[in-house]
């Protein structure tokens, strides 16, 4: 039984006509022109818009364009129009699960997947985020995860965030039978014994975001195709060497975190493969100067200051740098550059002729827009005067 079946009671027959009309309108506006047709009837050999092979293909093409959040109402209506629309809408509704749910909703969802393995096979991403539950809440729900995760055979992305659970929560990783592309684990203690065993068998993973506390690095055969690494100093030390990682997001754990990494000389040569680097921590100008000789492939650099005093350091020494982003840490209440931003930009552009773009985060009590907590000034070599961007637009490169 579908998790969304209980919502059928809210749909009266009048909805069927409206949903069908909306569905056909979308077909005619977005999908049919790509097939050289003016309307749906000219494409379908029968007046009955559902049930033919061509109509099923059009249904699939349309539903693939729908967003599970923005188009949720339409997707729920499509569940009750025909078998074809039900099947395709279900694929979208169950593709990404868990976002924004409380614990009771997670329980209902996981129980549904256990009772309906067919639905579990549709899940590609599961996100669990609970930060306001008792410390032992996961003990009673652990069996649900262990029962449901093996059924999600097409799971590619797993995100787990909880500020109150115990380290035994990481035992659920052994229940994942699929080859993940991305793993995010934050908030609770992570038992490296289980993680080490789990990652050893993950050969398709390309993105890893964890806090690794074990002094021992995982075996070289673990996550051999990792390309994006996010974490603290110990995470960088454990996973960067021996892999062709091109994107690194490093959050220094403490004031001496950067020094710990600098002391691990075997790690530094691995930075030669990094093309995108984000540094969040203390003494960034010193850190980037120490790393500069190894950043021979770096194209995008973000420096996230915590004090508002850090300057870009020796970025002019980076031979392939094209984009420089001067941001703020989440706990920084100052602009990224306290002095003259224009003077800093002019100096950098004159020192390094390969840099095309410089973005600098700005904070001001008198906000440019009410819905922007902070924003960026962007300078380009072709246009010396800056433009104003939201943080979301300025950091689009992080989504690539």
Ranges of each domain in the chain: 13-94, 98-214, 227-399
CATH of domain 227-399: 3.80.10
pTM above 0.75, yes or no: yes
The model's confidence at residue 11, banded by pLDDT at 50, 70 and 90, is: very low
Tell me: the pLDDT tens digits for 318-336? 999 999 999 988 777 777 7
Is residue 21 predicted with pLDDT exceeding 90? no
C-alpha distance from residue 266 to each of 194, 207, 252, 254, 261 (Å): 26, 22, 18, 21, 10
Ramachandran angles phi, psi of 234, nearest 5°: -65, -35
Q: Which residues pair with 249 in a beta bridge?
A: 230, 278
Residue pair 354/320 in contact by the 8 Å Cβ criterion: yes
What's the confidence (pLDDT) of residue 305?
A: 84
Tell me: the pLDDT tens digits for 37-84? 544 444 444 444 455 565 677 778 878 888 888 888 888 888 888 888
Q: Into which CATH architecture does domain 98-214 fall? A: Alpha-Beta Horseshoe (3.80)
Closest CA to 396 of 353, 354, 348, 359: 359
Show Cβ contacts of residue 125 under 8 Å, excluding neighbours closer than 6 positions.
95, 96, 97, 98, 155, 156, 157, 158, 159
Q: Which of 188-202, 257-271, 319-333 has the highest mean pLDDT?
A: 319-333
When computed from its CA atoms, the radius of gyration of the chain, rounded to whole angstroms, is: 25
What's the confidence (pLDDT) of residue 204?
A: 94
What's the confidence (pLDDT) of residue 373?
A: 64
Q: Rounded CA gap, 285 and 303, in Å?
A: 9
Q: Which of 25-39, 177-191, 276-290 has the lowest mean pLDDT?
A: 25-39
Is residue 372 predicted with pLDDT exceeding 60? no
């Amino acid at each position: 039984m579908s998790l969304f079946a209980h919502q059928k009671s809210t749909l009266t027959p009048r909805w069927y006509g409206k949903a069908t009309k909306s569905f056909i309108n979308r077909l005619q506006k977005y999908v049919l022109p790509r097939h050289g047709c003016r309307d749906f009837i000219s494409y379908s050999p029968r007046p009955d818009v559902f049930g033919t092979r061509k109509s099923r293909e059009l249904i699939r093409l349309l539903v693939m364009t729908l967003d599970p959040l923005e188009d949720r109402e339409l997707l729920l209506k499509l569940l009750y129009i025909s078998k074809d629309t039900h099947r395709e809408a279900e694929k979208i509704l169950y593709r990404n699960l868990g976002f924004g749910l409380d614990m009771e909703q997670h329980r209902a969802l996981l129980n549904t997947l256990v009772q309906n393995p067919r639905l579990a096979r549709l899940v590609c991403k599961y996100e669990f985020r609970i930060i306001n539950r008792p410390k032992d809440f996961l003990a009673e729900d652990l069996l649900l995860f262990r029962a449901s995760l093996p059924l999600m055979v097409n799971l590619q992305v797993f995100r787990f965030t909880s500020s109150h659970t115990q380290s035994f929560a990481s035992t659920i990783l052994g229940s994942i039978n699929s080859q993940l592309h991305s793993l995010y684990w934050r908030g609770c203690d992570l038992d490296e014994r289980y993680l080490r065993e789990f990652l050893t068998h993950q050969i398709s993973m390309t993105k890893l975001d964890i806090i690794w506390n074990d002094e021992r690095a995982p075996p070289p055969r673990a996550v051999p195709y990792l390309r994006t690494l996010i974490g603290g100093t110990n995470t960088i030390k454990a996973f960067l060497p021996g892999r062709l990682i091109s994107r690194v997001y490093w959050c220094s754990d403490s004031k001496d975190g950067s020094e710990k990494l600098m002391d691990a000389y075997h790690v530094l040569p691995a930075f030669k493969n990094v093309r995108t680097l984000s540094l969040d921590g203390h003494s960034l100008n010193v850190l980037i100067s120490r790393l500069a000789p190894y950043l021979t492939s770096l194209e995008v650099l973000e420096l996230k200051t915590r004090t508002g005093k850090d300057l870009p350091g020796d970025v002019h020494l980076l031979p392939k740098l094209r984009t420089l982003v001067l941001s703020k840490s989440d706990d920084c209440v100052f602009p990224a550059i306290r002095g003259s931003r224009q003077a800093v930009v002019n100096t950098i552009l004159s020192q390094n002729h390969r840099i095309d773009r410089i973005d600098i985060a700005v904070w001001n009590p008198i906000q440019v827009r009410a819905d922007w907590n902070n924003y960026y000034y962007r300078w380009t070599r072709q246009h010396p005067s800056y433009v104003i961007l939201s943080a979301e637009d300025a950091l689009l490169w992080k989504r690539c």
